[in-house]
Amino acid sequence: MTSTDSPNAGRNWWGWGNVEKYMHISPGSLKVVPLSVDQIKLRPSRIDISELPIEIAKICSHNKFERLLHSRGRDFVDIVRNIHGIIDNPTDLVAFPETEEQILTLLRYCSVHMIACVPFGGGSSVADGVSPPSHNHGYNGCITIDMKNFNKILEIDKKSMCARIQCGMYGPHLEEKLKEHGLTLRHFPQSFEFSTLGGWLATRGGGHFATGLTHVDEMVESVRIVSPQGITQTRRLPGSGAGPAEHRHYIGSEGCYGILTEAWVRIRPRPKYRASATILFPADNAIDSFLRGANAIRLVVQSGLQPSNLRLVDGPELYRTTQIKATEQTAGILLGFESASKVNLDPEMNMALKIATEVGGVVQGSNKLHWTRSRKSGERKGIAGKWGKSFMSGGYLFSEACVRGILSNTFETSITWDKFEAFHKQIMSSLQKEIVKQCGSGTVTCRLTHVYPDGPAPYYTIVATGILQPKDRRVEQWKAIRKVATKIMLEYGCTSTHHHAVGKFHRGHYEKERGTLFGPTLKAIKRVHDPKWIMNPDVLIKTPIKKKRSQL
């Protein structure tokens, strides 16, 4: 198999998305030119396909392109290392199963032969969640399991408004098929183009919508999982008070117990009517402007309103992405309501605008609201549309920044309202100082991506010119900046991640934020499902180091 006829032909191996999206980039503008697949020196596979049982060998590939694509996620650190050809720990084989029986056979074989298994949906992890385990764990190899063949809607129950969907289904394909029935899951993460239902479930992913059902786990009725110990499925129920919720043990488990193969999820009619507005908050400086906007958002969400969009964007970021006619220090709220049947959204919109303007907000444009039937799910116009388009293309912009020599990365968290103002002031100040210390200059901006009555989820973006000579120091610079952020987040009791999963990257912080008994509880559940500890080692749960795995 060659890269041109591989199952993922057309994908960009080193960064985000499809190759053709990068065609507009002039090679002369690149500070770092990514190596081609042929230029990469890749360690030979430690697993000989010819020695595998035939039922396993027929679904596995040692194709170089596939091994490269499946050896990392798409965080800034992953991409920078990729473009420099630093592939120090590649996966050995990539499996493309088509049935649960094939997955079960593979997992049981790997348990006997101490081969690590890493589930792979779209590979969009920014938390080091899909990379092979480190060498010192002593596994006899690693097989990455690509779920792209599990890509069908198996059943739609319109009476209960639920659908049974295979977990390898990518976001666009899932929505396209639901649209044929006038339905939607209404879950649109920034990674939507290259992430799957299984990935959303395994990471407890957050969608695009700012209030209400922000996380995918609230949309799940039941799940089905294949572990080395067998196949299990949770009961399909609208709700239950029978003990701890079984399906929630698997949602957010990040592949450390087994592989999610299908799920019953709650669906809804596609929205037809929308109203939107932009509200700016003039102030003497960007921090004050942002905090005024945050106060308005708090009052809106605590009023009981649940806008589909209630996103506060820092002045410099809003100006950069929309070219809005305001000073760069002016933050703005992107406000929106939507409905599948309610034509008149005036009451909700007017109430939200009244709340925001009473605390200093200024509504942009005409006060007259215009109602339109959407031709496309998620369609937006005006400022919100410009910002939304930039947001959804973030993966491409992110990757492009890496090859242009720019340090560009993000992190997110959540915190209660009573602590937010002090936290935000401190982290903005401390990060700006560290950016200058590490890079000489650069910026940190913030947006509130999701908001709740008891607190927001702030999302911070760092942009700076990295130091590339005599060597590329951007990974080192980013780690220093991120270390400062993590320290402050721990001091204020923030979560390690609001919607990007724990992976290996956030595990240290996660271990400090969880309760005393919960770590041992997770390990106990893992021993039941995966007694040989082959499933996604070191992700979410630290894997015990054994020099000779065969003796476990």
Contact 127/75 with Cβ under 8 angstroms?
yes
Average pLDDT of the chain to the nearest whole number: 91
Whether residue 36 is found in the same domain as residue 137:
yes
494 in any annotated domain: no
Whether residue 78 sits in one domain with residue 40: yes
Count other C-beta atoms under 10 Å from residue 385's C-beta. 15
Query: 451 in a domain, yes or no?
Result: no
Residue-level pLDDT at 25: 73
Same domain for 132 and 24 = yes
The CA distance from 539 to 248, in Å, is: 17
* Residue that finishes a domain, picked among 339, 354, 373: 373
Q: Answer whether residue 467 is part of any domain.
A: no
Query: What is the DSSP pairing of strand 331-339 with strand 183-184?
Result: unpaired
Above 50 in pLDDT, residue 525?
A: yes
Tell me the residue range of the domain where 197 lies. Answer: 153-269
Across 5-9, 121-125, 280-284, which has the greatest mean pLDDT?
A: 121-125
Q: Which residues are 457's β-sheet partners?
A: 450
CA–CA distance, 186 with 389 (Å, rounded to integer) = 17
Number of H helices, E strands in the chain: 16, 18
Q: Judge whether 187 lies within some domain.
A: yes
Q: Is residue 526 part of a domain?
A: no
- Is the separation of the CB atoms in 194 and 124 below 8 Å? yes
Domain holding 290: CATH number? 3.30.70.3450
Per the listing, tokens 């080091």 go with 128
**Least confident among 3-17, 142-156, 208-222, 284-298:** 3-17
Q: What is the CATH classification number for the domain harbouring 31?
A: 3.30.43.10
Kindly report, residue by residue over 17-35, the tens digit of the pLDDT: 888 777 667 777 788 999 9
Three-state DSSP at 253 gives coil
Output phi, psi for 72, to 5 deg. Answer: -150, 165
Percent of the chain with pLDDT over 70: 91
* pLDDT average, residue stretch 261-274: 96
pLDDT band at 393 (very low <50, low <70, confident <90, very high): confident
Element (H, E) at 174: helix 171-179
Beta-ladder partners of 446: 460
Residue where a domain stops, chosen among 222, 240, 269: 269
- The pLDDT score that the predictor gives to residue 5 is 58
What DSSP assignment string belongs to 322-361? H--SS-TT-EEEEEEEEESS----HHHHHHHHHHHHHTT-
Decide: 472 and 82 in contact? Cβ < 8 Å: no
Which one, of 519, 456, 458, 531, lies nearest residue 211 by Cα? 456
pLDDT at residue 429, as a whole number: 98
Task: Check if the beta carbon of residue 165 is closer than 8 Å to that of residue 181.
Answer: no
Quote the CA–CA distance of 351 and 219 in Å, as a whole number.
Answer: 28
Q: Is the pLDDT of residue 448 over 80?
A: yes
In this structure, the answer to whether residues 91 and 28 fall within a common structural domain is yes
Same-domain status, 122 and 25: yes
Q: Do 167 and 127 reside in the same domain of the chain?
A: no
Question: Residue 549 above 80 pLDDT?
Answer: no
Same-domain status, 94 and 57: yes
- For 118-133, what is the mean pLDDT? 97
Residue carrying the six token digits 């969880």: 514
Question: For residue 506, is pLDDT > 60?
Answer: yes
- The maximal CA–CA distance of the chain, rounded, in angstroms, is 72
Phi then psi for residue 51, to 5 deg, are -95, -5
CATH number for position 194: 3.30.465.10
Which of 396, 395, 376 lies closest to 172 in space, CA to CA? 376
Torsion angles phi and psi, residue 120, rounded to 5: -140, 120
Higher model confidence: residue 52 or residue 375? 52
> What's the distance, CA 526 to chain centroid?
23
Query: Which of 111, 105, 100 lies closest to 140 in space, CA to CA?
Result: 111
139 lies in the same domain as 170: no
Residue 546 predicted with pLDDT over 70: no
Q: How confident is residue 380, by pLDDT bands cut at 50, 70 and 90?
A: low
Give residue-wise pLDDT tens across range 153-167. 999 999 999 999 999
Give residue 370's pLDDT: 42
Taking 50 as the threshold, does the pLDDT of residue 379 lie above it? Answer: no
State yes or no: pLDDT of 433 exceeds 50.
Answer: yes
Domain count, the chain: 3
Contacts of 343 (CB under 8 A, 6+ apart): 273, 371
How does DSSP classify residue 120? E
Q: How many CA atoms lie within 13 A of 461 on its CB side?
A: 20
Please check whether residues 237 and 281 belong to one and the same domain. no
For residue 324, name the pLDDT band (cuts at 50, 70, 90).
Answer: low
Cα 29 → chain centroid: 29
Whether residue 355 is contained in a domain is answered as yes
The answer to whether 107 touches 258, Cβ cutoff 8 Å, is yes
Q: How confident is the model at residue 391 (pLDDT cuts 50, 70, 90)?
A: low
In whole angstroms, give the CA distance from residue 544 to residue 536.
13
Task: Look at the alpha carbons of 507, 513, 518, 519 in this order and tell me if their dihedral is positive or negative.
Answer: positive
Residue 492 counted as domain residue: no
**Residue 374 pLDDT:** 40
pLDDT surpasses 70 at 520: yes
For every residue of 185-209, DSSP letters joined together read: -----TTGGG-BHHHHHHHT-B-S-
* Residues 327 and 356 grouped into a single domain: yes
Query: Of 303, 362, 295, which is closest to residue 327 (Cα–Cα)?
Result: 362
Percent of the chain with pLDDT over 90: 80
What are the two backbone dihedrals, phi and then psi, of residue 180, each rounded to the nearest 5 degrees? -60, -20
Q: Tell me, what DSSP letter sits at residue 373?
A: B
Is there a domain that residue 177 lies in? yes
- Range list of β-strands (E), 80-219: 93-95, 116-120, 142-146, 153-157, 162-166, 183-184
Task: Kindly state whether residues 33 and 140 are assigned to the same domain.
Answer: yes
- The answer to whether residues 142 and 176 belong to one domain is no
Q: Give the distance, in angstroms, between the CA of residue 424 and the centroid of all CA atoms in the same chain.
A: 23
Considering 326, 343, 373, which residue would you say is the last residue of a domain?
373
